Amino acid sequence: MDTQTNAHQEELKIYEEKILGAEEKILALETKLFAELVQAVTEYIPPVQLNASLLAKLDCLLSFASVAGRNQYVRPEVNDSRIIDIKNGRHPVIEKQLPVGETFVANDIYLDPDSQQILMITGPNMSGKSALLRQTALITLLAQTGSFVPATSAYIGIVDKIFTRVGASDNISSGESTFMVEMNETASILHNISDRSLILLDEIGRGTSTYDGISIAWAIAEYLHDHPGAKAKTLFATHYHELNEMAQLHPRIRNFHVSVKELEHTVLFLRKLEPGGSEHSFGIHVARMAGIPVKVVLRAQEILSDLEEIREKTTANEGKRKKEKDLQLSFFQLDNPVLEQSARKS
């Protein structure tokens, strides 16, 4: 019995050694085979790399052609000018995600550093301002990569940098607020612009108080307009309707708005870019559409009416007190000589 037990134990030890050594032997064999393969392929490296490069280019071009054919893209003209002229441009991603039966509303964009450098775009939330900014950047980028673009025509002057400030979030780990993140990113843009840059700014200044936000947004737009070395093409989406006054003071700023139609208890977003500024944000309408309780919405409308009435009275009183004909900025209607002096200087 003992002899038989010992025999079994010896057999198990041998089997154990085979199992424990198998992984090591497999690794050694794989290493040997791989080294032999590398050695055998060494002389074919140049043609393999060339084939890989050619296949990658073909794959990219085939993808471009396939997407262009399926989605009615057109060939853009990329030239050495500084003008961006897009007719009936569309957002390549959003148009594929629309509900069945709904068509994407195309828009024209024209940017020219010598005559229409900055587009000041106003309009309510959900109207399509951000989508318009993004689609302009995507069309410009696609054109310069060699792709056809979602538009009926596109003339793209070469752009060296695309800067975006279209959304923010807190950086809690670094102790940075949403506004601080926004200002850091904006500062980086202002320090790095060139004469061929494309800049997209969405709701600059919204993270702080109204007067601070308007002042910062105004100063940034003015800086971009008056920069001595770079007339960077800029799309500036904002809720601050006071910024529409900049078009009267700066020759290369143009006001546009994303059109909406006001109905009885809601708004219909037409999503069409039109010349001229917008005077309403329709924020309360959007709140109603989002499901805010009716009681809250009605109270908000009452407060808004009171605030507008106070503003009209204040403006009327200011007009009586001040007889000078110099342009006064609406958001500086405060009894503060420092701010009034700053407004007159601008």
Do 91 and 195 belong to one domain?
yes
pLDDT score of 102: 87
Domain encompassing residue 321: 293-346
Question: Given 71, 89, 108, which residue is the final one in a domain?
Answer: 71
Listed range (103-112, 218-227, 269-278) with the worst mean pLDDT = 269-278
In-domain check, residue 99: yes
Rounded Cα–Cα distance for residues 262 and 51 (Å): 59
Do 83 and 184 belong to one domain?
yes
**How many Å from the N-terminal Cα to the C-terminal Cα in the chain?**
108
Residue 317 has pLDDT above 90, yes or no: no
pLDDT score of 341: 53
Q: Tell me the pTM.
A: 0.75
Do 169 and 272 belong to one domain?
yes
pLDDT score of 327: 47
Rounded Cα–Cα distance for residues 315 and 312 (Å): 5
In-domain check, residue 182: yes
Calculate the average pLDDT of the chain: 84
Do 273 and 222 belong to one domain?
yes
CATH number at residue 162: 3.40.50.300
Q: Which residue has the tokens 């309707």?
A: 241
3-state secondary structure the chain: CHHHHHHHHHHHHHHHHHHHHHHHHHHHHHHHHHHHHHHHHHHHHHHHHHHHHHHHHHHHHHHHHHHHHHHCCECCEEECCCCEEEEEECCCCHHHCCCCCCCCCCEEEEEECCCECEEEEECCCCCCHHHHHHHHHHHHHHHHHCCCECCCEEEEECCCEEEEECCCCCEHHHCECHHHHHHHHHHHHHHHCCCCEEEEEECCCCCCCHHHHHHHHHHHHHHHHHCCCCCCEEEEECCCHHHHHHHHHCCCEEEEEEEEEECCCCEEEEEEEEECCCCCCCHHHHHHHCCCCHHHHHHHHHHHHHHHHHHHHHHHHHHHHCCCCCCCCHHHCCCCHHHHHHHHHC
Domain total in the chain: 3
In-domain check, residue 18: no
Do 192 and 310 belong to one domain?
no
pLDDT score of 178: 79
Q: Look at strands 253-262 and 267-275 and give their pairing.
A: antiparallel
Do 150 and 119 belong to one domain?
yes
Do 136 and 220 belong to one domain?
yes
Report the pLDDT averaged over residues 261-283.
78
In-domain check, residue 2: no
Rounded Cα–Cα distance for residues 244 and 331 (Å): 12
* More confident: 297 or 255: 255
Question: Given 248, 281, 314, which residue is the final one in a domain?
Answer: 281
Question: Given 71, 90, 111, which residue is the final one in a domain?
Answer: 71
* More confident: 32 or 23: 32
Backbone angles phi, psi at 279, to 5 degrees: -105, -5
Listed range (17-26, 128-137, 209-218, 239-248) with the worst mean pLDDT = 17-26
pLDDT (tens digit per residue) in 79-138: 999 999 999 999 999 999 988 888 999 999 999 999 999 999 998 777 888 899 999 999
Do 306 and 253 belong to one domain?
no
Do 262 and 307 belong to one domain?
no
Rounded Cα–Cα distance for residues 152 and 147 (Å): 14
In-domain check, residue 3: no
In-domain check, residue 1: no
Do 187 and 58 belong to one domain?
no
Highest mean pLDDT among 128-132, 180-184, 251-255: 251-255
Do 213 and 308 belong to one domain?
no
pLDDT score of 42: 87
pLDDT (tens digit per residue) in 330-343: 444 444 554 455 54
In-domain check, residue 4: no
Do 346 and 263 belong to one domain?
no
pLDDT (tens digit per residue) in 155-170: 999 999 999 998 655 4
Listed range (42-46, 103-107, 139-143) with the worst mean pLDDT = 42-46
In-domain check, residue 9: no
